[in-house]
Amino acid sequence: MAFTSRLYLLLLLVPTLRAQPSASTPARETIVVTGTWEPIPLEEADRAIHVINTQDLRLTSSTFFDLLQLDSSLDLQQRAPNGIQADLSIRGSSFGQVLILLDGLRLNDAQSGHHNLDFPLPLDAISQVQILRGTGSTFYGSDAIGGVVNFITRQPEASEILLRAGLGNLGQNQERGVLAWVGGPLSEQLTFSRDFSTGFIPDRDYRDLSLASITHWTTRLGITGLTLAMSDRPFGADQFYGPYPAWERTRGWFAALHQTLGKKTEVDLAARRHTDLFVLLRYEPWIYTNRHAVDSYQAAVRRSDDLTGAIKVHYGAEGFRDVLASTNCSGTSPAFVDTTCAPALGDHHRTWGAGYVGFDARALRRFSFSAGLRDELYDGARNELSPSVSGGFWLYSKLKLRASVSRAFRLPSYTELYYYDPVDIGNPNLRPETAWGSEAGLDFYPGGRWTASATVFQRRERNVIDYVRYSLTAPWQATNYDRLRFTGVETALKTTLARKNTLEFQYTGLQGSQNVLAGIYSKYVFQYPVHEGTLQWQTSWPKDILTRARLGVLERFGSDPYAVLDLYAAWAHGRIHPYFQMTNATNTIYDEIQGVQMPTRSVLGGLEFKVL
């Protein structure tokens, strides 16, 4: 969303502080666009940002959920394999407090945060996953309390055709494909994926279909990008939302147009439609069936100007609109003879807009400073201000100190406001959540093959939205908590050994506290990980044999710790690439969402064909 510059005036005043280039200075190949005012090298970011390059892991991954599990600050709470109806939290946040972006455009669902990860694109359409840990409303507005996950689409460098198919236990079969064409200033990429399973227990079957078209065109006017995508996901939802053999089908359509106007201005337009068909009793749908449809629109104009040759200012305006249509149909017979339809969430709409201004100055490899302010206007006369300040200082050429403070907010979803069923009751009087986040960290780049980082952080929240009840037999009621605080630490260590042998370790520890009355049961707030660690080992052996192993260990608040080991292997030589995957190789019995059992050991194998 922005643009960076060097602190030229400061260099004139203190020229002796300028860092001199040296052979030990690490190459800056990773560029981040998330949580910054302009694309910058990762080492220059003043926030805790993690970048996952999907192309490095493409042959040894099935879905992008395999990639999200590599970050210890991300708590991926799946109800089924491969992210079927999954929730995501960052640094102990709720799943609604994480903002999902596609090339900087919002994907969060106004109906329910449970659909935020109902991602419409296949894995092969993505080049990077950039994760901003911590508050990000100054850059992106509502929902960015815990953090931001930004999926960056892939632009092909050459024409290619890739086809992939695999089979596994639990009735699994998967197909993926890429058809890309590059000709001068124009490129076109078509991707598809299909993931099917009969389920490891009754009513836990699923089908996942995704299609996408991504077009890039460079002209004298600038760069034009057009993204079109759709998804269709029916799945058995036994125990997902209570003690019911439920069934659900979600479908999504997404279209986005990006246009740069010279080097200083860009315009973005996007539309998203998401539908949700929910059946409480799969084999008796006439008793309770909900139908929801959300249409979302967004537009943005962003610009960057030089204040001097060294300092830049960034500003822009954004507009959003959500339209919800929702009904609940029930009847007395399987034929729906006496079916009646009444509002479930009802029909609602929300229009809001925002303006922002940001200031950025940096002396490369020495000082950096960034400040911004965003004003979000909603419901006519209400507004939320989201300021932020961050800075960095290189203590010497290999060690950087960084810190930031920022404010964030989240508007309630329509489910939290209006939903009603025997298990959950909404609250139309909910107030927006707000939070102040702060962090300080050290990044160490000793040169050669090692990198390390450590961050301490705290987030103080007000009016936290959660579902509570006063007895185990009462329904859950949406309400605002007064105060909530999370304090934690993140560490990461990565080394690259011989034969492209990479070892990466991450650990996140959390402690939460809140002001609530005794005797209240919380549905989401106290489900956060107290300790979470990931260890990944990846290597490229002779003759293009690739192997990868991921060990994840997690201890949730009030629960016993558990460990899950995933193994991956592939052969990248020639045009035919065999691959093999074993998830939960330890055969661990666990659930990521309390009461929703996850599968035991699962295997999948297949072939990828490089046609062109």
In angstroms, the first-to-last Cα distance of the chain is 35
Maximum CA pair distance of the chain?
84
Structure tokens that stand for 593 in this block: 């969402």
The dihedral of CA 88, 93, 97, 103: what is its sign? negative
Among the listed residues 423, 387, 419, 390, the one whose alpha carbon sits nearest the alpha carbon of residue 404: 390
Residues contacting residue 29 through CB under 8 Å, at least 6 positions apart: none
Structure tokens that stand for 508 in this block: 């996140």
- Residue ranges of the alpha helices (H) in 436-486? none
Residues contacting residue 16 through CB under 8 Å, at least 6 positions apart: none
CB atoms within 10 A of CB 488: 22
- pLDDT recorded at residue 21: 34
| Beta strands per DSSP E along 184-288 | 186-197, 206-218, 223-238, 245-261, 265-279
- pLDDT recorded at residue 554: 96
Looking only at the bridges linking them, the beta strands covering 98-102 and 105-106 are: antiparallel
pLDDT tens readout for residues 404-450 = 999 999 999 999 999 887 788 999 999 999 999 999 999 999 877 88
Among the listed residues 185, 211, 44, the one whose alpha carbon sits nearest the alpha carbon of residue 123: 211
Give 173's strand partners: 167, 196
CA 387 from chain centre, in angstroms, equals 22
Domains of the chain (ranges, CATH numbers):
8-610 (2.40.170.20)
CB atoms within 10 A of CB 308: 11
Element (H, E) at 127: strand 126-133
- pLDDT recorded at residue 333: 53
- pLDDT recorded at residue 485: 93
- pLDDT recorded at residue 340: 61
Question: Cα separation of 395 and 413, whole Å?
Answer: 44
Question: Cα separation of 266 and 536, whole Å?
Answer: 38
- pLDDT recorded at residue 397: 87
pLDDT tens readout for residues 204-241 = 999 999 999 999 999 989 999 999 999 999 999 998 88
Among the listed residues 441, 377, 376, the one whose alpha carbon sits nearest the alpha carbon of residue 408: 376
CB atoms within 10 A of CB 67: 22
- pLDDT recorded at residue 341: 65
- pLDDT recorded at residue 10: 29
- pLDDT recorded at residue 334: 53
Among the listed residues 450, 441, 395, the one whose alpha carbon sits nearest the alpha carbon of residue 73: 441
Question: Cα separation of 72 and 273, whole Å?
Answer: 32
Residue ranges in the chain whose pLDDT is less than 70: 1-29, 330-343, 364, 499, 515-519
Structure tokens that stand for 242 in this block: 């209570």
- pLDDT recorded at residue 16: 30
Write down the pTM of the prediction.
Answer: 0.92
